[in-house]
Homo-oligomer: A and B are copies of this chain.
Amino acid sequence: MALSKKPVNGMKDILPEEMEIRDYVQNVIKDTYRSFGFTPIETPCMENISNLSNKQGGENEKLIFKVLKRGEKLKLETAKEEMDLVDFGMRYDLTVPLARYYANHSNELPSPFKALQIGNVWRADRPQRGRYRQFMQCDIDILGEPGNLAEIELILATTTTIGRLGFKNFEIRMNDRRILKAMASYSGFPEEEFDKIFIILDKMDKIGLDGVAGELQKEGYDREAVEKYTTLFAGVNEAKDGVSYIADMLSGYLEEKALVSFREIVDAVEATKTADFKLIFDPTLVRGMSYYTGTIFEIAMPEFGGSCGGGGRYDKMVGKFTGNDVPACGFSIGFERIILLLTESGFQVPKKAEKVAYLIEKNYPGDKLAEVIAQAQEERKAGAQVLVVRMNKNKKFQKDKLAAEGYTQVREFFRK
């Protein structure tokens, strides 16, 4: 039986042209983040399944690729449910593994610790165009810094990177879980319902303010609370300075220092940013993960409907591993979407080296090969990329293809 040529369902092979762009983008990301003092680290692609199934990951926990136990540990006869069969799972993000890593190694790491992670994650989503079940994430996180210096540096580093990749006119939308909560509290919703309410609020982009109000009412929430809530959002939208408006309306519901910190972040970023973007307050921004505790942010591109990355503060996650909370804040770039946008815009990777192709006639004497290769070695030493291959029968076709691959010079070697 012939083997299957296709990659597994929902995952993709990466062809040379895309790979060139991916490598370039990764290098820009690494160089820029290094200039901000972030340090690359790596964790295994698998985690103990119990670490991945503890409600930190929200909906993503339903999408875990689980790894079968091996050898004697697998007891198929007595297994009653899925969890009896598996011990590891593929990570669905880089944040849970980072918190575990930090918990495990904090003694060996600087404080604060500025981590850079670039790695694949896996989610068993229904396969669909442009969305894959293995995809690369690219996160920076600062652990051990309680103040907004973390948020400022994360936003600057991320936007500098995106700017260097040629993107303009984008937005960083920012909100704070504490503002979200104060808004719900002020409107009169009971605290135990907040998570449900935020899931509905999160649909604002798609269904608008009226849609959100409708869904809240349909869920049976107090009509007066829903009205107060929607009036509040309408008010922020109309206000010249949304943060001031919120500050006025929510006094008594929101601690002053959350707003001061919020403003400091905006001011510092505006004063020092290097990329062409707007930092805006978006009171409807929720971010799916339930682990966020403070500031949250998201990248919005004019070229692309959805989010191109995001992050926020999650001060309670490391404590789940150690019992002691450690302040933490992170920002993740939507690597695959960046690649998609660059590819679709016809982006060309800046050329680094001259590409030279050597075509050697098929029956060129074997004992003379060394001379040709010696010449190639000289050119390589001088910095060129030298491809040494046999001349094909259809040389014109071969040369056209080489030209398309960026080989600007071709040298031909014939049997004398």
Is A13 touching B373 in the complex (CB atoms < 8 A)? no
Is A36 touching B386 in the complex (CB atoms < 8 A)? yes
**Distance from A289 Cβ to chain B, minimum over Cβ atoms (Å):** 16
Chain B residue, CB-CB nearest to A373: B272
Q: Does A74 contact B (CB under 8 A)?
A: yes
Q: Does A252 contact B (CB under 8 A)?
A: no
Bound: A86/B88 CA distance, A: 14
Q: Does A388 contact B (CB under 8 A)?
A: yes
Residues of B within 8 A of A20 (CB): 39-40
Residues of B within 8 A of A50 (CB): 3-4
Is B108 touching A82 in the complex (CB atoms < 8 A)? no
The A305-356 residues at the B interface (CB cut-off 8 A) are 320-323, 353, 355
Partner of A19, one of B41, B45, B87, B134: B41
**For chain A, which range describes its interface: under 10, 10 to 19, 20 to 34, or 35 or more residues?**
35 or more
Residues of B within 8 A of A85 (CB): 68, 76, 85
Chain B residue, CB-CB nearest to A323: B2
**Distance from A139 Cβ to chain B, minimum over Cβ atoms (Å):** 14
Bound: A332/B39 CA distance, A: 28
Is B48 touching A4 in the complex (CB atoms < 8 A)? yes
Partner of A42, one of B14, B47, B81: B14
Partner of A67, one of B51, B68, B76, B109: B68
Identical subunits present: 2
Task: Provide the A180-208 mask, 1 if CB < 8 A to any CB of B, else 0.
Answer: 00000000000000000000000000000
Task: Provide the A1-42 mask, 1 if CB < 8 A to any CB of B, else 0.
Answer: 011111110011111100110110000001000111101111
**Distance from A38 Cβ to chain B, minimum over Cβ atoms (Å):** 9
Partner of A51, one of B4, B15, B22, B112: B4
Bound: A85/B23 CA distance, A: 36
Chain B residue, CB-CB nearest to A104: B5
Residues of B within 8 A of A385 (CB): 34-37
Q: Decide yes or no: A268 and B370 within 8 Å by CB, A40-B23, A68-B68 being known contacts.
A: yes
User: A148-156, A167-175, A220-228, A229-237: which one contacts chain B?
Assistant: A148-156
Residues of B within 8 A of A12 (CB): 44
**Distance from A318 Cβ to chain B, minimum over Cβ atoms (Å):** 10
Is A104 touching B13 in the complex (CB atoms < 8 A)? yes
Bound: A383/B30 CA distance, A: 14
User: A211-219, A239-247, A293-301, A374-382: which one contacts chain B?
Assistant: A374-382
14 A-B pairs, CB-CB below 8 angstroms? A3-B100, A7-B101, A13-B104, A36-B380, A37-B357, A37-B385, A45-B122, A46-B65, A46-B134, A68-B85, A76-B85, A153-B388, A156-B377, A271-B374
A14-B43, A16-B41, A45-B134 known, 13 other contacts, Cβ within 8 Å: A3-B51, A3-B100, A4-B48, A11-B44, A16-B39, A19-B42, A37-B388, A46-B65, A65-B67, A65-B70, A149-B360, A268-B373, A274-B377
